[in-house]
Amino acid sequence: MKQLFSFLAILMLLFSCRDDDFGNNSSTLQPTNFKVEVKYDASYNDANNNPRRAKNAAVILVNSNSGDTYTVSTDANGFANFSNVIPGTYKITVSKNMLADEFFSTFNYVSPADEINFNGTQEGATVNVNVQSTVIELKTARIGDLLIKQIYYAGSHATQGASFRDQFIELYNNSNEVIYADGLYIGQLYGKVNTTFNQSYTQANGQFDWSKSIGMTMGSAANTDYVYADYVIRIPGTGTQYPILPGESIVIAANGVNHKSPLVDNTGNPISIQNPALTVDLSGANFEVYLGDFNLSIGQPVYKFDIQNPAVKDMEIAYWGRTGYWSGNNDLLMDNPGRDSFVIFKMNNADFTALPDYSDPSVTNVTTSTKYFKQIPNSVIIDGVDLQNFNPNSQRPKMLNASIDASFTNCDASFNSQAVIRKTKTTVPAQGSTPARKILVDTNNSANDFVKQAANPRGFQQ
């Protein structure tokens, strides 16, 4: 009898519970309308200092869990009105392309370029019946003549190809003038690679809140005005040693060797390649990232796969961690799933050396294993690309400001021989002795600017 009463009591308790006690409140699950107000940043305010809204801007909502995507353009008043949006958490990306005539009619002064791109983004945006609007600010995308053209980070098959040893980055001169690569820095950025929210050391989008780093005093600007690099390499040269002609590129290899051919590692063991078609020949690279001499200088051995080609110029190791707190990589290793971000920038050596470095914000006490990351101002960045994990269930928050890269790009998998490569916008025909050259897409929105295909040093979109 006692058991019967207990059973009846449990039944009564269950029937007395409301639907929304179990997360089934139909009012929060039903599709809803959602409005995005899009305005230009304060530098484009009108004469009365009122913000200007952006008409005909493309607004994209992507559900962080399901991948459901909605696309609407803003109306004449700068509002994107979405209907029947499934409630959830969304990433919102906004882009606006503006030609010189529209720029002048909108802002009443002459555009600095024939074509200007504006971008804005918001991560972790909530959409439900209680939250039906948000505001996004557009910033001018940076105008750069030197671009990150190709990033081969996925690597090739671990046993039939070259694994991670054949990774490279390619930079491209998208202008009609010679650009000298001397002194150019390439930064491999550091940040959170998962979206664990609501930590004491994270921002609203799940990325590190660098204002919480030990010794940081600059407040929110630590997140909005800077990025943080664990590895920085530098192209050598005195200023005019390494020209990049218009429409040409330079390749920076992790190991500047022919990965299609058998090799011998630094311990004397042979490296066989079962399927040369899966990998690439980097013996013609312009530069390679050899860390052997650096490792020896800090008391570390030369990594067995860090094979040096004397015919390929070595990059300079500009930052590999704070002295005594060196970072762990023994070679230029890119994250195969795609959780890296890369930037290129220029500044003089003394100014770079003077840049501070900080431990990540989760660190509360410095130990011998603490790592430090170089703080790089957004103002010196020429170009940047945010990569993304190929697994839709393992997405990471952005590291780069929307003015540098408004979204992400990625390959389909790790070790699949794919690279991300910039799209071709148009081809300028040959004129006299001047050869034809390709102009690549550069809207500072990686999802729009890049495609994924088989890695092809100095190749183009297929």
| The pLDDT of residue 199 | 81
Paired tokens of 144: 């750069």
Per-residue pLDDT, 425: 95
pLDDT at 123: 86
- How far from 121 is each of 59, 63, 78, 210, 249, CA to CA, in Å? 9, 14, 15, 19, 30
Residue 113 has what pLDDT? Answer: 79
* pLDDT > 90: percent of the chain: 81
Short-list 296, 291, 170, CA closest to 231: 291
pLDDT band at 9 (very low <50, low <70, confident <90, very high): very low
Which pLDDT does position 14 carry in this prediction? Answer: 41
Confidence band, pLDDT 50/70/90 cuts, at residue 23: very low
**pTM attached to this predicted model:** 0.85
Residue 197: what pLDDT? 63
17-34 average pLDDT score: 59
* The residue type at 21: D
Q: Read out DSSP for 18-50? A: -GGGGT--HHHHS-EEEEEEEEE-GGG--TTSP
Q: Is 200 exposed, middle or buried (0-12, 13-18, 19+ CB in 10 A)?
A: exposed
Task: Give the confidence band of 16 by pLDDT, cuts at 50, 70, 90.
Answer: very low
Please, which pLDDT band fits residue 22 given cuts at 50, 70 and 90? very low
Average pLDDT over residues 306-333: 95
Give the tokens for residue 365.
Answer: 């006490």
Strand partners, 71: 60
Percent of the chain exceeding pLDDT 70 equals 93
**Mean of pLDDT over the chain:** 91
Assess whether pLDDT exceeds 90 at residue 354.
yes
Confidence of residue 130 (pLDDT cuts 50, 70, 90): very high
pLDDT at 3 over 70: no
Q: Which two tokens stand for residue 445?
A: 């929105």
d(CA 384, CA 342): 6
What is the pLDDT confidence band of residue 13, given thresholds at 50, 70 and 90? very low
Q: Are 31 and 84 in contact (CB under 8 A)?
A: yes
What pLDDT, in 10s, does the model give residues 207-266? 999 999 999 999 999 999 999 999 999 999 999 999 999 999 999 999 999 999 999 999
Neighbours of 407 (CB within 10 A): 24
Domains for the chain: give ranges and CATH numbers: 30-140 (2.60.40.10), 146-454 (no CATH)
What's at 91, amino acid-wise?
A: K
Average pLDDT (1-22) is 42
Q: Which of 408, 446, 400 is nearest to 227 (CA)?
A: 400
Q: Is the pLDDT of residue 444 over 90?
A: yes
- Identity of the residue numbered 217: T
DSSP 86: P
Rounded average pLDDT over 338-358? 97
Q: How confident is the model at residue 114 (pLDDT cuts 50, 70, 90)?
A: confident
Contact 377, 222 (CB under 8 A): no
**Could you please report the per-residue DSSP string of 116-170?**
EEEEEEEEEEEEBTTB-EEEEEEEEPP--SEEEEEEE-S---TTTS-TTTT-EEE
Contacts 24+ apart (CB under 8 A), 405-408: 405/341, 405/444, 405/445, 405/446, 406/93, 406/94, 406/95, 406/119, 406/120, 406/121, 406/141, 406/443, 406/444, 406/445, 406/446, 406/447, 407/93, 407/121, 407/445, 407/446, 407/447, 407/448, 408/446, 408/447
Per-residue pLDDT at 12: 45
- Write out pLDDT tens, residues 174-207: 998 999 999 999 999 999 998 776 689 999 889 9
Q: Produce one character per residue of 227-266: b if its CB has 16 or more CB atoms within 10 Å, e if not.
A: bbbbbbbbbebeeeebebebbebbbbbbbbbbbbeebeee
Phi then psi for residue 221, to 5 deg, are: -60, -25
Separation CA 332–CA 255 (nearest Å): 9
Q: Is the pLDDT of residue 318 over 70?
A: yes
Distance CA 187, CA 174 (A): 20
Alpha-carbon torsion 305, 308, 309, 315, what sign? positive
Kindly state the tokens that stand for 401.
Answer: 């400001």
